[in-house]
Structure 1
Amino acid sequence: MHKMKLIPNLVLSFLAHFHWTLHVSSEDTPTVGSRNIPRLLSKDVIRGTFDYPVYQNHTVLFHHEDSGEIYVGGTNFVLKLDLDRYQIAQKIHLEVTREEPCQQDPCENVITVIQRFGDDLFVCGTNGLRPHCWKFVNSSANVTEHQDGTGISPFTYTQNSLSLTVEGDLYAVAPLDKDGSYLQFRRKSGRRANVWMYDGWLSEPTFVSASWVKRKDDPANEKIYIFFREKNSDHNPEADPWISRVARVCKTDEGGSKRFFQNTWTSFLKARLVCGFPEESLYFNRLQDVYVQHAEDWRDTRVYALFTSNWNATAVCIYSMENIEGIFDNSTFKGYDKAVPEPRPGTCVRNSRALPLATVGVVRDHPEMSDWVHSVHYTSPFYVSNNNYTKIIVDRVKAADQNMYNVLLLATDSRKIHKILESGSEPFIISQTQISSNSSIQSMKLDSKKKKLVVNFAEKVYVVDLLSCDEYNKSCADCVLARDPYCSWTPSGCTPTVPEGIQNVFDGKTSVCSASTSDQNQVNRTRRNAASSEDEASLTHLAVPKGVPFYLSCPIDSYHAVYTWRHGGESSPCLQMQSNCLLLLPDERRRTVDRYECISEERDYVNVVKRYRVTEQGDQRPSGNRAPPTQ
């Protein structure tokens, strides 16, 4: 039995301002009982940090999956991070290198590109408004060669750019002028010829991502996919000013003949990327970020795209590469009503310089597909939220049942990371991690082998441990209800998933816990009669003064659960204050001895979270100005 606790007198000012405090304190805290919010507010998942010597206006992250290397580029430096020891393994200084003085102050070399060429590290930076690139042998600090970086790195870090290496070739987007104009997707250097875009193909584009999709059984048909948004040619006031796109070029494209389209893509095609509610003609048109999840069979490759709208909502739509290719291979060409020439425009060929003028002419004048690319869910996005998400990464996780599950890692503009399970057509929001920083998230990379998420801010790099299972460690039921494929219940508690672990990612029902004899008491709590059994929960004894209203407190373990207070056969709703459920007990309703239970209900699990036995102290009133108890 617990010792009797004395509750101090509650000051009237607390009662008067309670609702104001509740509103302010809970503004950034989910409300219990909804599946559209994170189930858990994670706390101890930051496993390491890397501090920058000074505040960084811009940083870029590069991760090489095969080597497990993580590089970060800032102003005048590149760091190699050791995610096992949480320390800096290497630092390369890259000051501005130019003959004439800078015309700007400060004269800085902001790193904007980090890529791999074989064993060498390829780095480019703004170099005081003179973009420049360096190649480091075997990733050491020894420079093997350097070159002009115009068209690879932007002139300033605020300008739009991206880069991609494919089999020794570098593909890049960067302005060719200091004012940021003349922006296009190019093959800039490498084994194959330099190729660029035709001026009329795009309208003020903002490039988001580029990806090479391998075809092990058909490398001659491999393509590079480009994701971007561009200005809408429809100037109707009701039309969104932006259109989101996916485009593709053939990896083997060497440009056209000397007399027509020389050094210009002959295979470029583009299509509209649609995310929204087609039946209502309601679309999220502003593409923000893209993650391409590659598969052994290229047809199974999936594109996870993050969109925003002009009504302050964010959506995630998922696309199949097979469907994207189907649009490019079968749709008619917008604005073209003649017979389609052979070979079909956009087809990958052995020698692009020998393509007929009719085929290249369609690519030049009508590169847009008439049909739109719809998501795999078609009628609606996979996930819609009022959170302003800015970054997306998707991890593929093998669960205890040996099935593979996708977990979306979404970053918000308020420095939160949401972990969302994709199981069927419905998203399940597992948890929310709030990262303490005064700046916004600049970039994010996943080391899937180590299951660590690297999150980059202006002042430091944080490493989030995706295998942090301690927060589900109260019971088998708590571990299973999380539906976190990274975690399963074992005799050692909730631990990183092992084949023999207890887990139910599919629907989170806790009946699977019956296999765990060490947690049988927790299994019994799933029965509703457990709520009235005094053997199933600890009993807290409180002695309170007469004539004073007070609050009972119950901790919130899951924001997906519904919490109620039970007393004398009656039920009262939970009054939420941050991470606690409160029950106000006016003095006139109290008896000599009262019993109260805080009950949580989630899926098939009913749990007595807190039990109180309340007695009165008569007219004795201890002094003190303390808030209600938060046991």
Structure 2
Amino acid sequence: MPGVPLLFVLLLLLLLITGTPAQSFPRDLVARSTVGLAATAAYPRFGGLRGDNGTARLGLDFQRMLRLNGTLFVAARDHIYAFDLRQDKGTLYPERHLTWETQDRENCAMRGRRQDECHNYIRVLVPRDAETLLACGTNAFSPLCRTYQVSSLAQQGDEVSGQARCPFDAKQSIVALFVDGSLYSATVADFQASDAVIYRSLSPGQAPLRTLKYSSRWLQEPHFVQVLPYGPYVYFFFREVAVELSALGKVLVARVARVCRNDRGGSPRVLERRWTSFLKVRLQCSIPGDTVFYFDVLEAVTPPQTLHGRPAVLALFGTQPNSIPGSAVCAFYLADVERSFEGPFAEPRGTTWTPVPEERVPQPRPGCCAGMGPAAGVVTSGDFPDETLVFAKEHPLLHGAVGPAGGRPLFTHTGTRLTQLAVDTGAGPRGNHTVLFLGAEDGRLLKVLAAAQSPEATQPPGGTPAPGDTQEPGDSRDSSGKTLLLEEISLYDPGRSCLAARDPYCVWLPSRGCVPFSEDLPSGFQQDVEGSLGISGTCQGAAEDNDEDGDLAHGVRHPGPEAESAVPVPVLVGCVLGAFALGALATGLAATCCQRPAVPKAPPEPPCAPRTPTQTPVPRLYPALPPRDPPEPEPPALPPARAPRDREPRSPPGRDHRAGLPGRRCRSGRPGARGGP
């Protein structure tokens, strides 16, 4: 190709290579419709009890929700609210509520805790039977449990200790469920959060049962997400630091563990009052390819659903905390989960973990339920041979992982992390569609129509293709077998909190929201310049004198329809790459077609005159021009001296300390992550 520059040829090859990728990462779907903050501001919302200064000043801080017999129970800080879902009044206000405040706030503060932590955060709210609820609260780092009537929220019986049934800190994870009259809970059992536990208690006539204490092989810094019964087992879904990947650092992985419902603990010699059936295996949600991309951080798991005619759970995963934010939804058939516990055990061999040969596994197989299957001849779990119990104690981890239904995620999203998941597997007139509702950390709600069932979806797992697997990933055209992002709803803006701005000129008034500080403000305002509340955000813009378009309950201003929207990152990157490619192509064509004659070199510049000692050397970019007037002699350089500097007076609050101008006015903000303003 004579006359064609090498750069032009390389650009053409680059375009050909990048234009037809072998297998690409799924593209983010484009929402078919969007709902902004201006529209959602009119949605019914619950802002606290009327006339209750505590909820108005501190916020609500919701912890748990439970839907039972047409009633929505909401557990919050110091309160439990009950909403009647059968009556649509256009507003959200509880039909009844109870107040449960701590009596140990002084001791909590003496132990070095902040005032906002020394409340009773209701972290457990589960039905005990058809008529009663079990509620457990942190109780200022002294957890307690109570039983309440479903109909009236009246207390029944005495309080019981919440240790191992409720965390000490509201930020610690907890899952709990009653199965066969026993409470299965998973949390931390001590004040320092060093003893993670899966615990069974409140069993009539039986002693409590728990996991092994302080064992990194059993549990390593877990964060529990879900608990559910299935068959003769109870399954726990959680994420933890992978002990088998310790050579790679602190890597989080998703797990599913199970215990037998008829487990009574081991013998007095081994695993007494400890689970004999505890096993765990990795839960894998990944994008296949030459290099597998994993979503390892488990965020949410649904209760059992019927997916394509088979019982399954849907789970929400994220990327590692220090990586690019991204999320994926994967479905797991419960039959596949159950089958994974029949795989080989794992054990450390040097710096790696390898499968245990089957001939070394004792019989009956560890993890079996007494009186069932291979352990049909064993009456109770305490009758297992010692070698089986010792092996179970040292080998709780199984080799391999549970793969998702279809081998790939149902939905992926990048740029922000998704944290909440709800599923409707019977959507549509025929009840044969699956809709995902996903909550993002930036205040958006995504409504996703999952791919329709493919003909191969009913085949046995292993080679099961994903629903719509033959389609191009990320294609959002309206056709059969494709995942669609139906709607994107903006519910709130987490970056407009007044207190989170840490701006000394901004203060929070419960009645007026975020306002500039002035001497004539009434008492009762709040500020968090030191950042002690641990929330983040900004205080942007200027606040108008009126608050007609603001939410006075939370101090939030919603932007109008003309609010500026951001350009998606993939679109921006694509435009930059396209502009670069087109510019380089045009440059190559211009260099080929237009040949300019060589420009003769200019004569060498005469040498410059010698500089005087007081002259400062200045680099020259162009030839010097003759001066119009003779230069004046410069004064002799003085030795460097540090001149005294007067101390500037401090500006009063509300004034700019730099120029004495009025301080920045701040737009009304939204309460922080802890439910406060």
Normalised by the length of structure 1, the TM-score is 0.59
Name the CA distance, whole Å, in 2 between partners of 1:409 and 1:40.
15
Residue of structure 1 equivalent to 2:439: 411
Separation in structure 2 between the aligned mates of residue 223 and residue 440 of structure 1, nearest angstrom: 42
Letter in 1 for 2:423: V
Aligned positions, number: 407
Does the alignment pair 1:205 with 2:221?
yes
Within 5 A, what are the aligned runs for 1:38-117?
38-42=31-35, 47-52=43-48, 53-54=55-56, 55-56=58-59, 58-65=61-68, 67-83=69-85, 84=87, 85=89, 86-98=92-104, 101-102=107-108, 103=110, 104=113, 106=115, 107-117=118-128
Cα drift, residue 247 of structure 1: 1.0
5+ residue gaps, structure 2? 1-26, 49-54, 348-354, 372-379, 453-466, 468-481, 498-509, 511-566, 568-677
Aligned to 1:320: 333
- Indicate the SS of the match to 1:363: helix
Question: Which residue type is aligned with residue 125 of structure 2?
Answer: I
Question: Structure 1 residues 56, 166: CA separation in 2 closer, same or farther (over 3 Å shift)?
Answer: farther
CA offset digits 1:500-559 (Å, max 9, x no partner): xxxxxxxxxxxxxxxxxxxxxxxxxxxxxxxxxxxxxxxxxxxxxxxxxxxxxxxxxxx9
| Cα offsets for 1:556-588 (capped at 9, x unmatched) | xxx9xxxxxxxxxxxxxxxxxxxxxxxxxxxxx
What is the deviation of 1:35? Answer: 7.4
Q: Which amino acid aligns with 1:38?
A: A
Partner of 2:133: 121
Q: Distance in 1 between matches of 2:405 and 2:384?
A: 34
Deviation at 1:330, TM superposition (A): 3.6
> How far is the alpha carbon of 1:139 from its aligned partner?
4.6
Q: 1:295 to 1:168 in 2, by over 3 A?
A: farther
Residue aligned with 1:109, SS = coil
Q: Quote the Cα distance in structure 1 between the aligned partners of 2:496 and 2:269.
A: 50
Question: C-alpha distance in 2, partners of 1:97/1:188?
Answer: 25
Question: Which residue of the other structure, out of 401, 411, 419, is the alignment partner of 1:372?
Answer: 401
Q: Does 1:37 align with 2:37?
A: no
CA contact (8 A) 2:74 2:81 kept: yes
Structure 1 match to 2:256 = 246
Q: Name the SS for the 2:209 alignment partner.
A: coil
1:358 aligned residue: 387
1:37 and 1:208 map into 2 onto residues whose CA distance is: 32
CA contact (8 A) 2:313 2:334 kept: yes
Bigger Rg over Cα: 2
Question: Which residue of structure 1 lines up, in the alignment, with residue 148 of structure 2?
Answer: 136
Shift of 1:234: 2.7
Q: In structure 2, do the counterparts of structure 1 residues 57 and 362 end up closer, same or farther at CA, with 3 Å as the change threshold?
A: farther
Deviation of 1:437 (Å): 5.1
Q: Distance in 1 between matches of 2:161 and 2:258?
A: 27
Closer/same/farther in 2, CA of residues 257 and 69 from structure 1, 3 Å limit: farther
The structure 2 residue matched to 1:433, chosen from 489, 506, 509, is 489
2:519 maps to which residue?
none
Alignment partner of 1:369: what SS? strand
Task: Check 1:234–1:306 CA distance in 2 against 1; reply closer, same or farther (3 A cut).
Answer: closer
| Counterparts of 1:212 and 1:380, CA distance in 2 | 22
CA contact (8 A) 1:393 1:409 kept: yes
Deviation at 1:78, TM superposition (A): 1.0
Change (3 A) 1:178 1:211: closer
Q: Check if 1:263 corresponds to 2:263.
A: no
Q: Give 2:267's aligned amino acid.
A: S
Post-superposition shift, 1:94? Answer: 0.3
Quote how far apart the aligned CAs of 1:440 are: 11
Give the superposition deviation at 1:108. 1.8
Query: What displacement does 1:127 show?
Result: 1.1
1:336 aligned to 356, 366, 377, which one? 356
3-state SS of the aligned residue for 1:135?
Answer: strand
What is the TM-score normalised by the length of structure 2? 0.55
Give the aligned residue type for 2:401: W
- Give yes or no for the alignment of 1:422 onto 2:436: no
Per the alignment, do residues 153 and 116 of structure 1 end up closer, same or farther by CA in structure 2, a change over 3 Å counting?
A: same
- Report how far residue 226 of structure 1 moved: 3.0
- In structure 2, relative to structure 1, the CA distance for the partners of 1:255 and 1:315 (3 Å cut) is same
Q: Residues 202 and 230 of structure 1 are in contact (CA less than 8 Å); yes or no, is this contact kept in structure 2?
A: no
- Cα distance in 1 for partners of 2:393, 2:308 equals 31
- Larger RCO (CA under 8 A, 6+ residues apart): 1
Q: CA deviation at 1:208?
A: 3.0
1:188 has 2:201 as partner: yes
Bigger CA drift: 127-136 or 44-53? 44-53
Residues in 1 aligned to 2:495 and 2:202: alpha-carbon distance in whole angstroms: 35
Alpha-carbon distance between aligned partners in 2 of 1:258 and 1:439, rounded to the nearest angstrom: 56
CA contact under 8 A between 1:289 and 1:391: conserved in structure 2? yes
Q: Is the 8 A contact 1:211 1:226 kept in 2?
A: yes
* Equivalent pair of 2:28/2:414 in contact (CA under 8 Å): no
Give how far 1:319 is off.
1.3
Q: 1:224·1:250 contact (CA, 8 Å) conserved in 2?
A: no
Name the counterpart of 2:421. Answer: 392
Q: Report deviation, 1:323.
A: 0.8
Closer/same/farther in 2, CA of residues 277 and 332 from structure 1, 3 Å limit: same
CA distance in structure 2 between the partners assigned to 1:298 and 1:166 by the alignment: 25
Percent identical pairs in the alignment equals 22
Q: 1:378 to 1:75 in 2, by over 3 A?
A: same
The Cα shift of 1:380 comes to 5.6
Tell me the SS of whatever aligns to 1:392: strand
What amino acid does structure 1 have at the position aligned with 2:297? R
User: 1:434-513 alignment to 2 at 5 Å?
Assistant: 434-436=490-492, 438=494
Q: 1-side partners of 2:421 and 2:427: how far apart?
A: 20
Amino acid at match of 1:336: V
The alpha-carbon deviation at position 109 of structure 1 amounts to 1.4
Q: What residue identity is the alignment partner of 1:131?
A: P
**Shift in alpha-carbon separation, 1:342–1:281, aligned structure 2, 3 A:** same
Report if the CA contact (8 A) 2:343-2:398 is conserved.
no
CA contact (8 A) 1:275 1:381 kept: no
**Runs of 4 or more above 6 Å deviation:** none
Given the superposition, is the C-alpha separation of residues 281 and 292 from structure 1 closer, same or farther in structure 2, using an over 3 Å criterion?
same
Task: Using the TM superposition, give the Cα deviation of residue 321 of structure 1 relative to its aligned residue in structure 2, in angstroms.
Answer: 1.0
Per the alignment, do residues 225 and 126 of structure 1 end up closer, same or farther by CA in structure 2, a change over 3 Å counting?
A: closer
Q: Per-residue displacement from partner, 1:269-318 (whole Å, max 9, x unpaired)?
A: 11111121343132122222222333499962233232224222212222
Please say if residues 225 and 298 of structure 2, whose CA atoms lie closer than 8 Å, have aligned partners that are also in contact.
no
Alpha-carbon contact 2:228-2:236 (below 8 Å) kept:
yes
Alignment deviations for residues 437-482 of structure 1 (CA, whole Å, 9 cap, x no partner): 54899xxxxxxxxxxxxxxxxx9xxxxxxxxxxxxxxxxxxxxxxx
Q: State the Cα distance separating 1:436 from its structure 2 match.
A: 3.0
Aligned residue in 2 for 1:629: none
CA shift in 2, pair 1:140/1:57, >3 Å: closer
Instruction: Check the 8 A contact 1:291/1:393 in 2, yes or no.
Output: yes
Amino acid at match of 1:42: V
